[in-house]
Chains A and B, each alone.
Chain A
Amino acid sequence: MKKIRILLADDHKLIRSGLRLLMEQQPDLTVIGEANDGRETVTLARSLKPDVVVMDIGMPNLNGIEAALQISQANPEICIVMLSMHSDESYVLRALKAGAKGYLLKDSAESDLIKAVHAVAEGKSFFSPAVSKVLLDDYVRKLRRSGAEDAYDLLTPREREILQLVAEGKSNKDVANLLNLSVYTVETHRSNIMEKLNLRGIPELILFAVRKGIIS
């Protein structure tokens, strides 16, 4: 079986060695490199072409978000898992916009990290359960205080289906094949979804899906 090749990026050696130990215990994971800061991460990602980059969000010399942006622009096939101390949606959204597929809190369980690496390697998204909870709490609280309606309730069952598939990273064509629809119809549904939920771009759509627990 082909092992998943991982690049670790964190400015603390202790953390890196802990993470490496954790990964190497898995039979299908191998750590092919370690980077000390954002710039080194970008360089190593370009030269080593890892399958997955596990990266701290707060690093000196180019922070994790900037580094993720550069990596995903240069090599879109590299999947990025962000490690962060912050569960706030500002961070999650920025990470998503920078091209990250996974978002993990640093104090999440080790099993979550392993799950996240596997998920992104398969092209899926992964978010710490704690993040989903914070996002949902914020959303619900805001709805309750402002007395607004949950925009999700406005979606038709078909639109909800499409929302989930798009959030999971499927292209319009994949969705059309899966649901036996034309690409044009899928596109129409998608723009309706975006309008109803008042979203701009895929990252916000993914964030919304995470918030509602549609994906994790």
Chain B
Amino acid sequence: MADSREQTGPDAVPDPQFSQRARKVRFLLLVSFGWLLALLIGAGLDAFASLRRLDAVSQEVSQRFSARNQAVVGIVLSVHNYDDQLERFLLQDQLSTPAPEIPTLDQDIAAMRAALGHFPIDDDPDAQSLIHAIQQQMQDEANTFAAISGWAANVRQQRAYPFIAEQLIPWRTHVLQLSQQISALSARKLALDNLAVAANFQTLESHLMWMVALALMAGVLMSLICGWYILRLERQGRQRYQALARSRLELEGLSARLVEAQEQERRSISRELHDEVGQTLGALLVEVGQLSKLLPGESQAAQTQITHIKSVAENAVKSVRDIALLLRPPMLDDLGLVPALEWQAREISRRSDMEVDVQSDHVSEDLPDEIKVCIYRLVQEALNNAASHARAKHANVALVQDSNRIHVTIADNGSGFDPARSRGMGILGMEERVRRLGGTLTIESAPGKGSTVKAELPLRSASAS
């Protein structure tokens, strides 16, 4: 009997070519995804920077606009102020209010000039010429004032109203017109600036759209490639699985046939040994017995020889019988399952230190032959393991039959083993026999805890197949 506890080696052998290719594909995927990610991040950062730039430009535009407006308002106010002062100076004799001093008027002129200087001129020639016109008028006014300030009181009284009507009012109107022109100009400039901002924004928009489209295309391309690769892997996996399942099925069929062939072979060899060799030897023994009777009593040497021949033949008969029993016990056919199991239990007890009890409950006499053989071999294997490997002192075999199944339990109190790790040929053989009949086999054992082999065999499907 082969050692049933031998370790089976690991069966997963890595394919170096396959793993190398898988590594390459993994690297490519990583690079592509990294590239895609970098593209997306770059596009985002770029868009962010462009937006900030645009924001700065539009803020600058509006700031410039308001500065211009403020400057224009400042100019207009200072001119008006000056004109008012001038008017009051001229009418100081008719009005009761005190006339402004000359230095105050000079200050006003300086304020006018300062307001004019605040105006952002830029490179606009229209604005320059308008500012220039205002400057010109201011100069005129300053010159005129120099003349007026020298007037005597009576001259002043006489010429004040005509001067106001002919000089001061047209001046004012002119400055207002000029300032309106400047305002219109700056409004136009604002519109132009806004247009430029809008154009900038559009550029950014199209740029962004390009980036997004590129990223999207790259993403779609990548997912297409990935999808194709996954499908390919899946197909390969399915093919491998199918091939595996097929070969497993073939293997199962093969091992089932092997078990069957083995049983058949054992049976025929056993019968051959028993019927031919055994019976011939038996007959030989009878003949030798007859021969010894025919010999005259005084031929002592011949009688001794005959006794020797008989003992040799008897030994041969015995070994032939033992071999035949081991191969295919006729008990199974002669007596039925339970007595055969009891015989086996006693047989094991005779040649080992293990005592075996057999209990059976409602086991019918006419079980299908394949079930009987299966149970017999199962018990044989389990008891042999218990006696020789586990060195058990006691084992219990229990057979219970219910309406459609038969339960076999073989429990021993031996050293036990770890069923998850040890799967020897013996256990594989048991599993194979049970699976072939559509049954289940469980082995419960742990080092130091003994072991229990349980099998459950269906009765109907077995007799149907």
Contacts and interface: CB of A to CB of B under 8 A. Distances in A.
Interface of A: 11-12, 14-15, 17-19, 21-22, 25, 57-58, 63-65, 85-86, 88-91, 93-94, 106-107, 110, 137-138, 141-142, 145-146
Contacts of B193: none
Nearest to A84: B334
A141 B350 CA distance: 8
B446 interface: no
A18 B335 contact: no
B290 A22 contact: yes
Contacts of A91: 331, 334-335, 339, 343
5 contacts: A15-B283, A19-B286, A91-B339, A107-B317, A142-B349
A141 to B, nearest CB: 7
A11 B71 CA distance: 140
A138 B274 contact: no
Given A57-B334, A65-B334, A94-B335, A88 B347 contact: yes
A12 B282 CA distance: 10
B275 interface: yes
Contacts of B260: none
B287 interface: yes
Q: Which secondary structure dominates where chain A touches chain B?
A: helix
Contacts of B285: 107
Contacts of B293: 25
Contacts of B340: 90
Interface of B: 274-275, 278-280, 282-283, 285-287, 289-290, 293, 314, 317-318, 321, 330-331, 333-335, 339-340, 342-343, 346-347, 349-350, 355, 393
A64 B285 CA distance: 22
B343 A21 contact: no
A142 to B, nearest CB: 7
Nearest to B333: A63
Of the candidates B283, B289, B349, the one having the most CB atoms from chain A within 10 angstroms of its own CB is B283
A7 B335 CA distance: 23
Nearest to A88: B343
Given A90-B339, A138-B346, A142-B355, A15 B314 contact: no
Contacts of A57: 334
A179 B286 CA distance: 43
A215 to B, nearest CB: 21
A43 B287 CA distance: 29
B339 A106 contact: no
Contacts of A58: 274, 330, 334
Given A90-B343, A106-B282, A138-B350, 9 more contacts: A12-B275, A14-B280, A14-B283, A15-B286, A22-B289, A58-B274, A88-B346, A91-B334, A106-B317
B350 A85 contact: no
B355 to A, nearest CB: 4
Contacts of A86: 331, 343
A81 to B, nearest CB: 16
B72 to A, nearest CB: 127
Nearest to A59: B334
A147 to B, nearest CB: 11
A15 B334 contact: no
